[in-house]
Amino acid sequence: MARPPIVCGRCMRRQLNLAAQTSSLLKLPRATRRYATAESRPALDMLSNDVTRKLDAVSKAAPLGSSDGAKSSSFPKTNARVVGYWLLGSAASVFGIVVFGGLTRLTESGLSITEWRPVTGSLPPLSLADWESEFDKYRASPEYKMLNPHMDLAEFKKIYFMEWTHRLWGRFVGLSFVLPTIYFIARRRVTPRMAATLVGISGLIGFQGFIGWWMVKSGLKDDLFAPGSHPRVSQYRLAAHLATAFACYSWMLLAGLDVLRTHRALRDPEAAAKQFAALKSPALRVLRGSVAALTGLIFITVLSGALVAGLDAGLIYNEFPKMGTGYMPPKSELLDKFYSRREDGSDLWWRNMLENPSLVQLDHRILATTTFSAVLALFAYSRTGKVKASMPRNVRKSVTGLLHLVSAQVTLGICTLIYMVPISLAAAHQACALALLTGALVVGHRLRVPKHTLALVQRALKEPVRMKGGPTSARIEKAVPGF
């Protein structure tokens, strides 16, 4: 009969301690087990074959956050924080180009470049011969023949550089967005949903460039405006160009705010869960819908302002609140048959609304007044009993900021009209319009409960290993010192 091997007491205790540590490791989440297994491999080799097989099987399991048997995705569950800051920076760049585009239009510089060259047009004329060539092309345009027949080369260079800078800025916006988009997707720094969002915004930026040239092209043809009238771009195309810019800006802004909001929520899941629960209060339902409707109203008012700018309608009836002798022009002026192109007059209404400067200005006044009244009503409603008690502090502050923005916008609009559209006031009026839309978007964003972020918060609460200093984290440090 073989004698049992003699085992040292110290070795036996060491094996028992290692077995206890291994048992703790097997209870940890799979991603933690993999890391701990790699760190403690020399010690775990001394355990029994059965324990080693279990550890090997655990090390091949799915990563943290994936369900058993499901295929793991190479994309992360959350976006990198730098993506949010980059999106907000891109939105700021779009904000700037919108304001500069307004200056380009106000200085009548937009038609100085008569060709669209996306690549070679990045450089301005570098020699006198090149400048003369560009000037000759401008001389052939209706704007030069009808408005600037006495313009010399030095004056032409001023308006040329305004339009060239605007186009160069547009190229910068495109490259500074498309190239990082490719990088973030290739490096898997964004979720699949955000990847689709970035691709969509990139496509919208390219479409915006096409819309811009389509707009400029309308001012280079005599057949697109009435004979003898002021050469200008089509007000429809100008409105489309501005609407696309505002949509691009809004998309970037909301996407960036979503990324940063998710990171703030995951830093303190318990506080985020309480905030989301408060936002689900029935008392905020009407407020949430009202903010969404107000955002749409602001956007429509902005488009009506683009029609005013395209028709130079701000240069007539430069008083407020009256328009001439009354609060509106005569009916015969508002519904002028001159703008109808059909013999039966079936297009009389809508053509006057979109092409008659008097009616276009009246429409913009009505929409602006309605927007101002709507913000006042929203502010008053947000201060009522149940709504005020249920509304988070950041939402209350953003509603107050919205009131300040709409007050500034109305003041700028009236001053721009009274002083017959000076460049500085008109540019400030357009910038404040985008700021007002920003305020409405921020209010709506803070009232919304994002489903994806809510799901991540709920998962973080169920898996404390994701929280620094949580109980599972302490268990890891105890099981594997220095983890």
User: Span 381-390, mean pLDDT?
Assistant: 90
Going by pLDDT thresholds of 50, 70 and 90, the confidence category of residue 447 is very high
Q: d(Cα 413, Cα 111) in Å, to the nearest integer?
A: 26
Give residue-wise pLDDT tens across range 158-211. 999 999 999 999 999 999 999 999 999 999 999 999 999 999 999 999 999 999
Give the per-residue pLDDT at 458: 87
User: Span 76-102, mean pLDDT?
Assistant: 95
Q: Give percent above pLDDT 90 in the chain.
A: 57
Give residue-wise pLDDT tens across range 263-281. 999 998 888 888 898 899 8
Environment class of 347 (CB within 10 Å of its CB; exposed 0-12, middle 13-18, buried 19+): middle
First vs last C-alpha separation in the chain: 47
Q: How many CB atoms lie within 10 A of CB 482?
A: 5
Going by pLDDT thresholds of 50, 70 and 90, the confidence category of residue 285 is very high
Q: Which two tokens stand for residue 259?
A: 């990324």
Going by pLDDT thresholds of 50, 70 and 90, the confidence category of residue 286 is very high
User: Span 231-258, mean pLDDT?
Assistant: 94
User: Span 91-114, mean pLDDT?
Assistant: 93
Going by pLDDT thresholds of 50, 70 and 90, the confidence category of residue 379 is very high
Give residue for tokens 């002026």. Answer: 333
Write down the mean pLDDT value for the chain: 83
Specify which residues 323 forms β-bridges with: 326
Instruction: Please give the DSSP secondary-structure letter assigned to residue 326.
Output: B
Give the per-residue pLDDT at 202: 96
pLDDT at 471 over 70: no
Q: How many CB atoms lie within 10 A of CB 481?
A: 10
Q: d(Cα 429, Cα 415) in Å, to the nearest integer?
A: 9
Q: Which two tokens stand for residue 79?
A: 């976006």
Q: Which two tokens stand for residue 373?
A: 């009244």
78: left (phi over 0), alpha (psi -120 to 50) or beta: beta
Give the per-residue pLDDT at 119: 81
Give the per-residue pLDDT at 46: 45
Going by pLDDT thresholds of 50, 70 and 90, the confidence category of residue 324 is confident
